[in-house]
């Protein structure tokens, strides 16, 4: 009944659409106030509806970014059930190099701060194309999309760091409320040229000013209208000003010394991290364990575990599998070969067997498993700066000689799909007219002959005269060394190319070397992968300007004036239909030009415990029951259609 | 009256009396023969191919195709495979005139000369181009198992097509084709052949994977034969390098004495302090994972023991009467080393060599097992590495594991028997 009451109150509040009320919406008010307010608001709303007033045109909080009104979905933790709290959620993870959320550009650091901190707004996992307010109760965006005004949730407290119990840190042993100043502090730090976070700063270069009229109001002013400002405005984490702005003794760091002090901050050296989220970092022992525990004063609860443990001491996939099967981890991300042996070949009877016609068949075993899609794709990129790949027919032939289906089936064991573009095929942005090249070595050979490749010296290797010089069709592919799947992919491709007179030489590289290889464009061809997100932007990877800048992401040297023009236009366009049309045209051009060869989309297998760990007290509820419920909601774009397309293993 | 037998001959006689040693030598000889004749035992290229155009021996022509045999040691094994029967016959015919040593040396000389000749650019180039060597990249021989399947399918398709729509008649399948018993190549990945159990039939060609397949569809049996070549090459070359360095350093330290001995002995001690395998890991990580780099690194890091042994031998020999007599006669030092000391110090070297080969085989397998082997080489260690991560597919562990164990154990047996045979105290 309480829930129904709250929903009604919310509807009343939104329909009013008043700036003042929107800035202080009903959810912040006490229940008593709402009970009192509802009849009056309801009456006004009814009146507006009857008089044909603004009610039909009034926007609702549907999570779709728009100007003029608060569009953020209200924070939703309705999936949380207080009676289910208990147990420790354990996963295997890696030790990160650092711990600072701005300085250490590392996925593990990002995960750590996601566990302990909250952003202004987030894309809810059950509908990632929308935005839900988290620390922001509301947002108002100016008509030109340049000014964003947030109202910060009241009553949110910074966690007390665990070191606060030590005598020298008693100055930290107090409750510090979150204010708009903490967001301004975060943005000022990012924009400070002395702070060593150039990659994040890149996203905020067009931020003109950050203002905090009061403790609950944050105003961001952008220099120009940009679609990307939606993501960069909404997805901001606060930074604890009272810690990062202070010396070890609690005194303030002088402004002129701030950047230097921040780059080597004493709090990072102690491996400390605090946030305003549900979990507090209790301990972080590199290469051993990181432990997070529910913070009693957290402003909201969404997850049921009492504690989260990252096991940092298990590093090899095979050791992780054994550990998981012994109950040392709650979940495991399986490698394709583990999926093949444990599930497809049925070597571990505790996993429910694979059934081609039932995508949920893995849920019923003692150990649960399920295929999950990830946003991303893997590819082989050609260095278009090299004469070998300059000819379009050559690139198409290379694609025709790539046995995509076989590689997905035999190397990745069905994990991943054939893709022709970086956009997921369910997305509105996806260009459905792209038709995949079907593996056809004969046609590839014919195309190569058309492009002038022939074996003129009888060595079984195609050659051609380019700029008066005979060049053999032989190239190296540089790729990450510790990936047996890509070793095998290239091995199969090498054999196929060999049959049509091309020599491929795989050259595995350690990650550090590979980064240099990408940045210096020091390759004939390279294997790479991009993790994509919901913010569709072609500029970073495909714009000509990114081909020549140091550290640019256009590794392949792709240059196309029309794509440049469209990528720039997409950054300034807001209506969805127009954006989709632009994105589809870009995809068509890139597909036609074939600067890269898509290997597969990213897909994995998550396994989890369906029973308590040995020796542990039986849990009253199945571990991760909530997560399996939400599997169906992870891919909302499919609108109830079967979630997975299986390739025959 | 019997001919007098040298002390070394007597020792070899004692060695051959040891039944274990005899068997060990025979089994190692089988290993070597399997490695030498690997292309005739495991390949998808026909040994004999008879079709409309006549007889062909594609497997023989394939021996000098650099695409399929890209490494220098592959060519050396291939040359040996071709020359071994005629050389054996010649050796047999010349047994009355040439001593055993002469025949062995002559045979080895012919093999090495042929090997070098095959690599030399002595053939005229195409259209006045650069001269070419016999060992080079050739187009596919077109006589593989797949060719038979493809030709058969194409002909069936052609027969089914109405006469009016038919194109040119495709090449018919051969009237006779003899393939090696393992009809798969070690470096090819076979479609539909991932992690198949021993004895499973290749779904495309119908040939059997006698020892199963690995995680990407390689034939394990074919890779085992190719791996035997790698193990033997690594063992021989790495050990030879270690022995040469050890011999030179030990000889100089043992005969020069004084300050030079002091310095060299300390260097030897420093080298012995390093855990060799860790050193190999570091160097391979820095220099790259090429097979020859691995051989060189194993050789360069394992000479210290030999050097110390040689120093002791030379030290002991240099105060013997015949050496002192040579010194008294004013014989130059280099001549004393080469003529008077070296032949007497070779016996312990022979024993060290047999243990060294076993150690090098184990080291290469260990490196590959740790993922630091040559990714292009089908070594036993790389198969074992797959077995380590894929414990449910037992053939990936048992087959290469047993081979490494057997070869290393046999080489150690031989080394032990040699040591006992040459040790005067054991008589």
Q: What is the mean pLDDT of residues A154-170?
A: 95
Cα A620 from Cα A616, distance rounded (Å): 12
Using alpha carbons, select from A591, A556, A553, A600 the residue that is nearest to residue A388: A556
pLDDT at A511: 80
Measured over the CA atoms of residue B371, residue B376, residue B381 and residue B386, the dihedral's sign is positive
Confirm or reject contact between A455 and chain B (CB < 8 A): yes
Has residue A4 got a pLDDT over 60? no
CA angle A603, A606, A610 (to 5 degrees): 160
Q: Judge: B189–A461 Cβ closer than 8 Å, yes or no.
A: no
> Using a CB-CB distance cutoff of 8 angstroms, which residues of chain A are in contact with residue B126?
456-458
Give the HSE-up count for residue B243: Cα atoms under 13 Å, Cβ half-sphere: 22
By CB atoms closer than 10 A (0-12, 13-18, 19+), residue A152 is buried
Decide: B381 and B373 in contact? Cβ < 8 Å: yes
Tokens, residue B330: 């004013």
- In whole angstroms, what is the distance from residue A407 CA to residue A404 CA? 5
Closest-CA residue to A542 (of A551, A530, A555, A531): A555
Q: Given an 8 Å threshold on Cβ–Cβ distance, is A337 in contact with B389?
A: yes
Q: Which residues of A520-532 are buried (b: 16+ CB within 10 A; e: fewer)?
A: ebebbbbbbebeb
| Token pair of A234 as six digits | 């909404």
| Eight-class DSSP state of A339 | I
For tokens 């040459």, the residue is B422
Answer for the pair B241, B299: CB distance below 8 angstroms, yes or no: yes
Residues of A in contact with B371 (CB under 8 A): 482
What pLDDT, on the 0 to 100 scale, is given for residue A341? 94
CA distance A12 to A42: 6
Determine how many CB atoms are found less than 10 A away from the CB of residue B261.
17
Contact in structure between A429 and A583 (CB atoms under 8 Å) = yes
Nearest-CB residue to A459 (from B136, B216, B375): B136
Alpha helices in A500-560 (DSSP H): 511-519, 539-542, 545-548
Q: What is the pLDDT of residue B420?
A: 86
Distance from C-alpha of A486 to C-alpha of A341, rounded to nearest angstrom: 18
Residue B386 distance to chain A (closest CA, Å): 10
pLDDT band at A96, cuts 50/70/90?
confident
| Helices of type H across A71-194 | 107-116, 180-191
Contact A460 B140 (CB under 8 A): yes
**Higher per-residue pLDDT: A1 or A482:** A482
How close does chain B come to A492, measured CA to CA in Å?
6
CB–CB of B216 and A492 under 8 A? yes
pLDDT in tens, B140-188: 878 999 899 988 988 898 888 888 888 888 888 899 999 999 999 999 9
**CA-CA distance, B290 to B280, in Å (whole number)?**
13
Q: Where are the alpha helices (DSSP H) in A550-617?
A: 561-572, 576-593
**What pLDDT, on the 0 to 100 scale, is given for residue A525?**
97
The neighbouring-strand residues paired with A309 are A90, A291
Higher pLDDT, A647 or A177: A177
Average pLDDT over residues A19-37: 29
Q: What is the pLDDT of residue A484?
A: 86
The pLDDT of A212-228, averaged and rounded, is: 95
**Predicted confidence band at A495 (pLDDT cuts at 50, 70, 90)?**
very high
Q: Do A345 and B388 touch (CB under 8 A)?
A: no
Q: Is the pLDDT of residue A31 over 50?
A: no
Q: Which residues of B touch A (CB under 8 A)?
A: 67, 125-126, 129, 136-140, 187-189, 191-192, 194-195, 215-217, 371, 375, 388-393
**Tally of CA atoms within 13 A in the half-sphere of A489 that contains its CB:** 30
Measure CA B227 to chain center: 9
Contact predicate A217/A149, CB 8 Å: yes
Strands of A255-407 (E only): list them: 279-285, 289-294, 307-311, 331-334, 367-382
Decide if A488 and B215 are in contact by the 8 Å CB cutoff.
Answer: yes
Q: How far is residue A183's CA from residue A304's CA, in Å, rounded to a whole number? A: 28
Residue A497: its pLDDT value, please?
A: 96
Cβ distance B216 to A498 less than 8 Å, yes or no, reads no
Beta bridge partners of A527: A380
Contact B294, B231 (CB under 8 A): no
Tens digit of pLDDT for each residue in B55-114? 999 999 999 999 999 999 999 999 999 999 999 999 999 999 999 889 999 999 999 999
Distance in angstroms (rounded) separating the CA atoms of residues A394 and A387: 11
Instruction: Flag whether residue A415 sits within 8 Å of chain B, measured between CB atoms.
Output: no
Q: A346 in contact with B at a CB cutoff of 8 Å? A: no
Side-chain-facing half-sphere of B115: CA atoms under 13 Å: 18
3-state SS, residue A583: helix
Encoded tokens for B85: 């029967």
**Of A495, A499, A506, Cβ closest to residue B189:** A495
- The two structure tokens encoding residue A381: 């990129």
Give the DSSP letter of residue A146: -
Average pLDDT over residues A171-182: 96
Fold of B220-426: MetI-like fold (1.10.3720)
Distance separating alpha carbons of residues A460 and A454, to the nearest angstrom: 9
Q: Is the CB of B375 less than 8 angstroms away from the CB of A506? A: yes
Neighboring chain B residues of A339 at a CB cutoff of 8 Å:
none
- Which one of A458, A482, A491 has the shortest CB-CB distance to B139? A458
Q: B70: distance to nearest CA of chain A, Å?
A: 13
Q: What pLDDT is attached to residue A16?
A: 25
Tell whether A647 is within 8 A of chain B (Cβ): no
How far is C-alpha B384 from the chain's CA centre?
19
Per-residue DSSP letter, A224:
S
Which pLDDT tens digit goes with each residue over A595-643?
999 999 888 888 887 765 445 444 443 444 444 444 444 333 333 333 3
Check whether A19 has a pLDDT greater than 50: no
Where residue A524 falls (left for φ over 0; alpha for ψ -120 to 50; beta otherwise) is: alpha
Which of A:347-386 have CB within 8 Å of B? 347
Q: Are strands A474-480 and A525-531 parallel, antiparallel or unpaired?
A: parallel
Which chain B residue has its CA at the smallest distance from A488's CA? B216
Q: Between A44 and A344, whose confidence is greater?
A: A344
Number of residues written out for chain B:
427
Highest mean pLDDT among A2-16, A544-558, B203-217, B359-373: B203-217
Spell out the long-range contacts of B199-207 with Cβ–Cβ below 8 A and sequence spacing 24 or more: B204/B146, B204/B149, B205/B44, B205/B145, B205/B146, B205/B148, B205/B149, B206/B149, B207/B145, B207/B179, B207/B183
A520 contact B CB<8A: no
Distance of CA B33 to the CA centre of its chain: 10
Nearest Cα residue in chain B from A411: B216
- Positive or negative, the CA dihedral A403, A405, A410, A411 is positive
Residues of B in contact with A461 (CB under 8 A): 137
The verdict on A188 touching B (C-beta cutoff 8 Å) is no
C-alpha span between A255 and A264 (Å, rounded): 15
Least confident of A29-33, A265-269, B115-119, B135-139: A29-33
Length of chain A: 649
Q: What is the spatial distance between Cα A305 and Cα A303, in angstroms, rounded to a whole number?
A: 6
Contacts of A458 in chain B (CB under 8 A): 126, 138-139
**Residues with pLDDT less than 50, chain B:** none
Assess whether pLDDT exceeds 90 at residue A343.
yes
User: What integer pLDDT is reported at residue A634 of this predicted model?
Assistant: 38
Q: Which two tokens stand for residue A445?
A: 């050979």
Nearest-5° angle of CA B387, CA B392, CA B397? 30
Q: Which of A334, A349, A461, A484 to mutate to test the interface with B (most CBs of B within 10 A)?
A: A484
Q: How many helices (H) and strands (E) does chain A have?
A: 22, 20
Q: Provide the whole-model pTM.
A: 0.82
How high is the pLDDT of residue A562? Answer: 97
Q: Which pLDDT value is given to residue A45?
A: 37
Suggest the residue from A346, A493, A495, A648 to mutate for an interface test with chain B (most B CBs closer than 10 A).
A495
Estimate the share of chain A in helix, then strand, then coil, as percent rounded to the nearest 5: 35, 20, 45
Q: Do A410 and B392 touch (CB under 8 A)?
A: no
Lowest mean pLDDT among A244-253, A371-380, B121-130: B121-130
Q: Does A454 touch chain B (CB under 8 A)?
A: no
Identify which of A608, A192, A590 has the alpha carbon closest to the alpha carbon of residue A420.
A590
**Mutation target vs B (from A457, A462, A496, A512; most B CBs, 10 A cutoff):** A457
Share of chain A above pLDDT 90, in %: 56
Q: What is the DSSP string of B117-143?
A: HHHS--BPPGGG---B-SSB-----S-
- Residue A248: is its pLDDT beyond 90? yes
Interchain CB distance below 8 Å, B191 and A318: no
Question: How far apart, in whole angstroms, are the C-alpha atoms of residue A219 and residue A140?
Answer: 9
* Number of CB atoms found within 10 A of residue A200's CB: 17
With beta carbons under 8 A apart, name residues in chain B contacting A318: 388-389, 391
**Alpha carbon A290 to chain centroid, angstroms:** 22
Query: Which of B129, B189, B389 shows the shortest C-beta gap to A457?
Result: B129
Percent of chain A residues past pLDDT 70, beyond the cut: 84
For chain B, what is the total number of helices (H) and then of strands (E)?
Answer: 17, 5
CA distance readout (Å), A356 to A344, A349, A414, B324: 10, 18, 11, 86
Chain A / chain B CB contacts < 8 angstroms: 63
CA neighbours closer than 13 Å in the CB half-sphere of residue A302:
16
Does pLDDT of A546 surpass 80? yes
Q: Cβ contacts (< 8 Å) between B388 and chain A: which residues?
A: 318
Average pLDDT, chain A: 82
| Pairing verdict, β A121-122 and A132-133 | antiparallel
B70 contacts on A by Cβ (under 8 Å): none
- N- to C-terminal Cα distance for chain A? 50
Distance, CA of B64 to CA of B133 (rounded, Å)? 10
On the CB side of B385, CA atoms within 13 Å amount to 19
Pairwise CA distance, residues A134 & A147, whole Å: 20
Within 10 Å of residue A30's Cβ, how many Cβ atoms? 9
Task: Identify whether the C-beta of residue A225 lies closer than 8 Å to the C-beta of residue A146.
Answer: yes
Q: Which residue has the higher pLDDT, A19 or A357?
A: A357
């Amino acid at each position: 009944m309480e829930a129904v009451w709250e929903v009604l109150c919310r509807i009343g509040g939104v329909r009013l659409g008043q700036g003042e009320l929107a800035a202080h919406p009903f959810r912040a008010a006490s229940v008593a106030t709402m009970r009192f307010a509802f009849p009056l608001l309801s009456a006004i709303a009814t009146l507006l509806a009857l008089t044909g007033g603004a009610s039909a045109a009034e926007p609702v909080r549907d999570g779709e970014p728009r100007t003029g009104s608060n569009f953020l979905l209200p924070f939703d933790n309705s999936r949380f059930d207080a009676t289910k709290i208990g147990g420790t959620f354990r996963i295997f993870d890696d030790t990160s190099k650092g711990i600072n959320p701005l300085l250490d550009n590392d996925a593990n650091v990002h995960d750590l701060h996601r566990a302990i901190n909250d952003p202004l707004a987030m894309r809810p996992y059950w509908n990632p194309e929308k935005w839900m307010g988290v620390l922001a109760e509301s947002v108002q965006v100016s008509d030109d999309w340049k000014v964003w005004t947030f109202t910060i949730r009241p009553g949110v407290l910074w966690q007390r760091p665990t070191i606060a119990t030590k005598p020298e840190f008693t100055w930290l042993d107090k409750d510090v409320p979150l204010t708009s100043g903490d967001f301004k502090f975060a943005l000022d730090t990012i924009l400070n040229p002395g702070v060593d976070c150039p990659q994040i700063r890149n996203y905020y270069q067009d931020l003109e000013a950050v203002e905090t009229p009061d403790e609950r109001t944050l105003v961001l002013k952008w220099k120009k209208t940009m679609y990307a400002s939606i993501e960069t405005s909404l997805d901001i984490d606060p930074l604890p000003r009272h810690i990062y702005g202070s010396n070890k003794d609690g005194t303030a760091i002088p402004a002129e010394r701030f950047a230097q002090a921040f780059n080597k901050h004493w709090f990072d050296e102690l491996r400390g991290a605090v946030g305003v989220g549900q979990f507090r970092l209790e301990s972080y022992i590199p290469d051993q364990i990181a432990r997070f525990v529910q913070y009693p004063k957290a402003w909201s609860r969404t997850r049921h575990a009492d504690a989260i443990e990252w096991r940092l001491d298990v590093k090899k996939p095979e050791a992780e599998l054994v550990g998981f099967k012994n109950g040392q981890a709650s979940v495991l991300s399986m490698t394709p070969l583990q999926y093949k042996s444990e599930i497809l070949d049925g070597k571990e009877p505790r996993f429910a067997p694979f059934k081609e016609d039932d995508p949920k068949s893995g849920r019923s075993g003692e150990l649960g498993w399920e295929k999950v899609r990830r946003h991303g794709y893997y590819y082989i990129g050609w260095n278009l700066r090299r004469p070998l790949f300059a000819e379009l027919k050559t690139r198409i032939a290379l694609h025709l000689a790539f046995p995509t289906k076989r590689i997905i089936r035999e190397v990745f064991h069905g994990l991943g799909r054939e893709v022709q573009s970086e956009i997921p095929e369910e997305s509105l942005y996806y260009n459905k007219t792209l038709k995949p090249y079907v593996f056809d070595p004969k046609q590839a050979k014919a195309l190569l002959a058309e492009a002038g490749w022939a074996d003129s010296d009888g060595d079984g290797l195609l050659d051609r005269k380019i700029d008066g010089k005979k060049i053999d069709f032989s190239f190296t592919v540089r790729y990450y060394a510790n990936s047996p799947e890509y070793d095998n992919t290239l091995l199969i491709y090498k054999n196929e190319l060999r049959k049509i007179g091309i020599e491929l030489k795989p050259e595995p590289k350690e990650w550090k070397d590979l980064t240099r290889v990408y940045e210096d464009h020091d390759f004939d061809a390279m294997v790479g992968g991009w993790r994509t997100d919901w913010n569709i932007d072609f500029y970073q990877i495909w714009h000509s300007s990114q081909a020549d800048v140091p550290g640019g992401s256009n590794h392949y040297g792709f240059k196309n004036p029309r794509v440049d023009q469209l990528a720039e236009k997409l950054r300034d366009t807001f209506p969805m239909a127009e954006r989709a049309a632009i994105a589809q045209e870009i995809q068509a051009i890139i597909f036609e030009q074939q600067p890269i060869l898509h290997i597969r989309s990213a897909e994995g297998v998550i396994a989890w415990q369906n029973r308590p760990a040995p020796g542990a007290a039986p849990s009253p509820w199945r571990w991760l029951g909530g997560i399996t419920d939400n599997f169906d909601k992870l891919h909302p774009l499919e609108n109830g259609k079967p979630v997975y397309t299986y390739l025959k293993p | 009256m019997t001919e007098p037998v040298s002390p070394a001959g007597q020792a070899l006689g004692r060695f051959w009396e040891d039944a274990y040693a005899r068997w060990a030598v025979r089994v190692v000889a089988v290993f070597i023969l399997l490695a030498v004749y690997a292309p005739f035992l495991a390949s998808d290229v026909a040994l004999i191919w008879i079709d409309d155009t006549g007889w062909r021996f594609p497997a023989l022509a394939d021996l000098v195709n650099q695409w399929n045999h890209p490494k220098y040691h592959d060519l050396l094994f291939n040359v040996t495979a071709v020359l071994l029967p005629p050389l054996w016959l010649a050796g047999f015919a010349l047994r009355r005139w040439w001593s055993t040593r002469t025949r062995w040396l002559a045979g080895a000389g012919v093999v090495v000369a042929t090997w070098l000749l095959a690599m030399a650019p002595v053939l005229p180039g195409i259209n006045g181009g650069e001269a070419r060597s016999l060992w080079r990249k050739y187009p596919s021989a077109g006589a593989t198992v797949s060719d038979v399947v493809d030709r058969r399918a194409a002909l069936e398709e052609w027969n089914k097509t109405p006469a009016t729509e038919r194109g040119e008649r495709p090449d018919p399948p051969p009237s006779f084709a003899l393939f090696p018993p393992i009809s798969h190549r070690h470096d090819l990945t076979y479609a539909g052949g991932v992690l198949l159990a021993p004895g499973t039939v290749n779904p495309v060609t119908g040939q059997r994977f006698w020892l199963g397949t690995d995680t990407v569809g390689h034939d394990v049996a074919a890779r085992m034969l190719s791996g035997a070549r790698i193990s033997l090459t690594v063992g021989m070359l790495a050990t030879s390098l270690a022995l040469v360095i050890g011999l030179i350093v030990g000889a100089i330290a043992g005969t020069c004495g004084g300050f030079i001995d002091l310095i060299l002995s300390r260097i030897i001690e420093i080298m012995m302090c390093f855990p060799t395998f860790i050193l190999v890991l570091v160097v391979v990580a820095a220099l790259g994972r090429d097979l020859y780099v691995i051989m060189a690194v194993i050789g360069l890091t394992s000479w210290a023991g030999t050097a110390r042994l040689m120093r002791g031998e030379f030290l002991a020999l240099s105060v013997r009467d015949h050496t002192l007599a040579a010194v008294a006669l004013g014989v130059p030092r280099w001549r004393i080393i080469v003529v008077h000391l070296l032949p007497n110090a070779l016996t312990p070297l022979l024993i060290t060599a047999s243990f060294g080969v076993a150690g090098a085989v184990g080291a290469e397998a260990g490196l590959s097992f740790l993922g630091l082997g040559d990714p292009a080489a089908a070594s036993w260690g790389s198969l074992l590495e797959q077995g380590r991560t894929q414990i449910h597919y037992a053939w990936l562990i048992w087959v290469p594991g047993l081979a490494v164990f057997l070869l290393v154990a046999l080489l150690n047996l031989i080394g032990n028997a040699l040591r006992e045979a040459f040790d005067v105290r054991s008589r």
